[in-house]
Amino acid sequence: MGNTINLCDKKDEELFQLYADLLEEFRQRKLTRTNNNPVADYAEKLITQKFGFIQANKEAKGYDAKDQQGCKYQIKGRRVTRYNNSRQLGVIRNLDEQLFDFLIAAIFNESFAVQEIWKIPFTTVKKYAKENKHQNGHILQLRGEILSDPTVEKIQ
């Protein structure tokens, strides 16, 4: 299936260089917008494309996209692996300012395939998210009670 690289033969420094090159290639192909961990950027790209949203510029505060009616969406992605099955989403900053109308959460499997997508209204996010002063924001676990809340919609 194309070029295969034997990673076992690579020195640590070479592996990190490959990773850096891969992140840059993702950015060049517009799969991501930064060279950070690609899960968040990839989730934003997939969700905006799937639902026809307009992606916000990187400087937008508190939301990642808008729909045609002007609703604002914060988009979070989480990759679940065999080593870490946590469903904790990334930190939600400035929650008290109500900068988005809905949170869209995408759960990826280990191979970056989308397993689930959830649409959660702001008021429900506020109800279930826990403040974390150390991380300077709120943390939301995408499991348990929130998933059975009648305001939460599983859209994939």
Query: Would you say residue 116 lies in a domain?
Result: yes
* Inside any domain, residue 99: yes
Strand locations in 70-150 (E): 72-79, 102-108, 114-121, 130-132, 137-139
Considering the entire predicted model, what is its pTM? Answer: 0.88
Report how many domains make up the chain: 1
Distance, in Å, from the CA atom of 74 to the CA atom of 77, rounded to the nearest integer, reads 10
The 10s digit of each residue's pLDDT in 118-130 is: 999 999 999 999 9
* Residue 57 within any structural domain of the chain: yes
Question: Is there a domain that residue 42 lies in?
Answer: no
pLDDT of residue 82: 93
Query: Does residue 26 form part of some domain?
Result: no
Length of the chain counted residue by residue: 156
**What is the separation, in whole angstroms, between the first and last Cα of the chain?**
30
Residue 115: which domain range?
53-154
Q: pLDDT confidence of 33, banded at 50, 70, 90?
A: confident
**3 in any annotated domain:** no
Residue 115 belongs to a domain:
yes
Q: Determine the Cα–Cα distance for residues 11 and 72; give it in Å rounded to an integer.
A: 45
